Amino acid sequence: MRRSVARRLSLLAVATALVGAGAAAPPSAVGTAAQPTRTPAQAPVPAKAPVAVGYGGAVSSVDADASAAGIEVLRRGGNAVDAAVATAAALGVTEPYSAGVGGGGYFVHYDAKSRTVHTLDGRETAPGSAGKDLFLEDGKPIPFAEAVTSGLSVGTPGTPATWQSALDAWGTKSLRSLLEPARRLAADGFTVDATFRAQTADNQARFKDFPASAELFLPGGELPVVGSTLKNPDLARTYEELGRKGVGALYHGRLAEDIVRTVNRPPVDPDAERRVRPGRLTLDDLADYRTKRQKATRTTYRGLGVHSMAPSSSGGTTVGEALNILEGTDLSRLSPEEYLHRYIEASRIAFADRGRWVGDPAFEDVPTEGLLSQRYADSRRCLIADDKVLTSPLAPGDPRHPADCASGGRAAPTTYEGESTTHLTTADKWGNVVSYTLTIEQTGGSGITVPGRGFLLNNELTDFSFAPADPAVHDPNLPGPGKRPRSSMSPTIVLDDDRRPLVALGTPGGSTIITTVLQTLTNFLDRGMPLADAIAAPRASQRNQATTELEPALWNSPSRAALERLGHVFKANPEIGAATGIQRLGDGRWLAAAETSRRGGGAAMVVRSAP
């Protein structure tokens, strides 16, 4: 894609931003929106708007309180990194089932001064005692649901270390000042919405079995009422302690001791019938934790540079490989069914290779460059036929020795990953951008709240393979001491041919993260959709499985029947992902976009709305 095409995308976005937002984003809602009525204990919060255009910087997240925290930092002179940390901390209050200091994530940063992209791997790690048999009993995998709700599933948290590493490298404000909006929010409370209540209901049985979780999330033993105020004074005190002492307080000292005690002796209600296995976390595991600053993945697509996360995440390599496969087809000229067919098949191929080759590179020989090479993508593209569907699951190829249309060995099925993650995107007036995905894995993580500390612990280690799908085939994602489980998180920043940001985006959704980012990018870059429309468009997700998942709008469309005639097999999925993104429009303007309806809709904001 040449520079003129990038400019066309920018102009198109300006002209159609409000139309793209649909009825959910009337003109009065653009930018910082009107204030709803709240209880006296709470500060007013902007209403959610899925699109905003303006100056001075932008923030897009799933939650209005969190986006407002980031905007507050930008207005006080902070940069995109500062705003990302503040937004993430606020999400730990209002989206505690998706993210928080008990989890981890991946941070992608564009530095406007050097026009370069850098990344931080803040993924959780397995305890030093973990072996390949971590989730085996009597030689057999334990039930997945039992593994989730256990101390055994808890990895060493990486989120606080990620915040500090990002601030040390690129930030301008102190952690204490950036935690203050979230501390206030936790102390004063936030308004419960329908999504929060529904997610609490999904976890009600688990939370009841842990007194600290029940006290926090089930006030009076009941589900929180929509419109009520939920406070978290314990988390407010935890944020105050981290701000005063630094994030080292979570990795050393009393807070670290509280975490280890909770993991290894889960505080279960004595009357509960649930079996909750203890974990194996130690103080040394916490003290030894480090983030990894590493080179971003990069692939060229239509003349643009697509930058994302390298392993331990599979996001950058898998999205990149699929884009390279699609590079040889002009997607803009295809019918909707032809486009979906090519997109689905490219996803299937990329996931076949992901399952065989991607794991933690500190433990596995991951051929990252090979997976991202155009030569390898070209050798795999010929597996796609215009008139029929690939076999699924598909066997992987070998990026070390590309051979046209070759696939060898046995297919590695895609394992389940928890879908309750969250993503935020920020930009500032200097042109810096952050794309940051963070998580505690399942909705509600392990279900275990650290008593007196106000946050849930992750169940991230269930992202490991419990056992090899095929004993004869090497599985790069088995547990190991200090190993990071494979992730699908795909925070992405796309640069134009001047190495300036065109768009940044990401999403939650477990392994559907990869397909959501891929589909949103191709909708935006190839299909001519404004960013808000590209995010809102109905999704399909194929992850080298027998069936492709479809959201309702595609399930009920004529496209499904047309694709079924080619051999596609589908199953319905009510909701896939919850993306946010930011686009640079030029002249200091940014367009922030979020979901119109998924997860109750997102919150896009700018510092100063465009006239």
Give the catalytic positions in this structure: 421
Distance CA 594, CA 598 (A): 9
- What lies within 8 Å, CB to CB, of 490 at 6+ separation is 308, 309, 313, 315, 316, 318, 319, 437, 506, 507, 513, 514, 517
Of 474, 109, 524, 447, the C-alpha closest to 296 is 109
**Cis peptide, bond prior to residue 393, ω within 30 of zero:** yes
Per the CB < 8 A criterion, the answer to whether 11 and 587 are in contact is no
Per the CB < 8 A criterion, the answer to whether 59 and 67 are in contact is yes
Amino acid at 314: S
Three-state SS for 8?
helix
SS3 string, 323-377, reads: HHHHCCCCHHHCCHHHHHHHHHHHHHHHHHHHHHHCCCCCCCCCCHHHHCCHHHH
Distance CA 581, CA 90 (A): 18
Distance CA 416, CA 422 (A): 17
Query: Cβ-count burial of 27 within 10 angstroms (0-12 exposed, 13-18 middle, 19+ buried)?
Result: exposed
Per the CB < 8 A criterion, the answer to whether 426 and 419 are in contact is no
Distance CA 102, CA 155 (A): 9
Chain-centre distance for alpha carbon 464: 17
Chain-centre distance for alpha carbon 537: 18
DSSP letters for 481-517: TTPPPPB----EEEE-TTS-EEEEEE---TTHHHHHH
- Strand pairing class (570-572; 548-550): parallel
